[in-house]
Structure 1
């Protein structure tokens, strides 16, 4: 399956930061309006990819990005819960930013070395990859799909990325085995 993977546009966390919201509440943060025009430019390139369907993370920033893309392409749009962000705490508790950053560093180090970390309180890269692949396996009847999601989902599918993928950017990848 060919995937045009789009990382959501630039989010606006100002309101959630001002109100000291939790990470869960930050998931509802909208796109930053100052950067939406950049998405319109990217859509022109994405249009050339000739995808058949859009599949999006449920987070607001991803849904808004999918909507901007879909205004131009007019494709069927599906929202998939399991294309969400990496989980910094498997128990769903609050994790201080410094601890979250440490866990994120550990998570990416294990991915870089293709070595699964055992007995950790956060979601492993293998578990993240598995849930993303489970979602995508339901779309194997399409030859090319647009996935609007998050960097960590992309990295779990494509492998460790030294340079990442910027907000509002896209990359193409092919997954050989699904389902």
Structure 2
């Protein structure tokens, strides 16, 4: 099965920050006007021709990107929890600030996505990110899909194609099983 992994477009965190949302609340962020334009331009990418199904992370920035990518096509969209962003706190209870999330992310990067026994952060490991996304891909491969696209997040994409920088609406194509 061919999979086009697509990073979501440029998010605008202003509205959710103004409402004092943090943690998962930031995931309600919509796209900037520039982000909408980036996604609309990406919708003309010829790699979308022949896509059987568009999968999307449940985060607003990914869903809005998928909407723009499929607005003028007949590609159906399915939301998939397993394509969500990296989790800086697996307990969902320890992080209280964006600065703490940044510290957890710095630890994740410093340890190459692996957990360490001395870390104060219980973040999702790279192996866990890969396993949850792979389970999604396997399910669609088992259903006989030949070509899907997935709007997801850079950290998810890097588990299948090591690339330090992934731009907004950048496509990375992989062959799955």
Whether TM exceeds 0.5 here: the answer is yes
When structure 1 is superposed on structure 2, of 33-42 and 126-135 the one drifting more is 33-42
Structure 2 counterpart of 1:130: 131
Structure 1 counterpart of 2:59: 59
Q: 1:117 aligns with which of 109, 115, 118?
A: 115
Q: Deviation at 1:117? A: 2.8
Cα distance in structure 2, aligned partners of 1:13 and 1:38: 17
Alignment check: 8 A CA contact 2:5 2:150 kept: yes
Cα distance in structure 2, aligned partners of 1:118 and 1:13: 31
Task: Normalising by structure 2, report the TM-score.
Answer: 0.87
Alignment check: 8 A CA contact 2:22 2:97 kept: no
Cα distance in structure 2, aligned partners of 1:48 and 1:25: 31
Q: Deviation at 1:123? A: 0.4
Structure 1 48/62 Cα, relative in aligned 2: closer, same or farther at 3 Å? closer
Please list every run of 5 or more consecutive structure 1 residues that lacks an aligned counterpart in the other structure: none
Structure 2 counterpart of 1:88: 88
Structure 2 counterpart of 1:106: 107
Query: SS state of the match for residue 138, structure 1?
Result: helix
What is the RMSD of the two structures over their aligned residues, measured on CA atoms?
1.9
Structure 2 counterpart of 1:167: 168
Structure 1 counterpart of 2:10: 10
1:71-122 deviation line (CA, Å, top 9, x unaligned) = 12211211011111111011102243333223223323444xxx73344510
Structure 1 118/64 Cα, relative in aligned 2: closer, same or farther at 3 Å? same
Q: Deviation at 1:49? A: 4.6
Q: 1:148 aligns with which of 151, 157, 160?
A: 151
Alignment check: 8 A CA contact 1:51 1:144 kept: yes
Q: Which runs of 4+ in 1 moved over 4 A?
A: 46-49
Query: SS state of the match for residue 34, structure 2?
Result: helix
1:37-67 deviation line (CA, Å, top 9, x unaligned) = 2211111114555211101000111111111
Task: Normalising by structure 1, report the TM-score.
Answer: 0.86
Alignment check: 8 A CA contact 1:47 1:73 kept: no
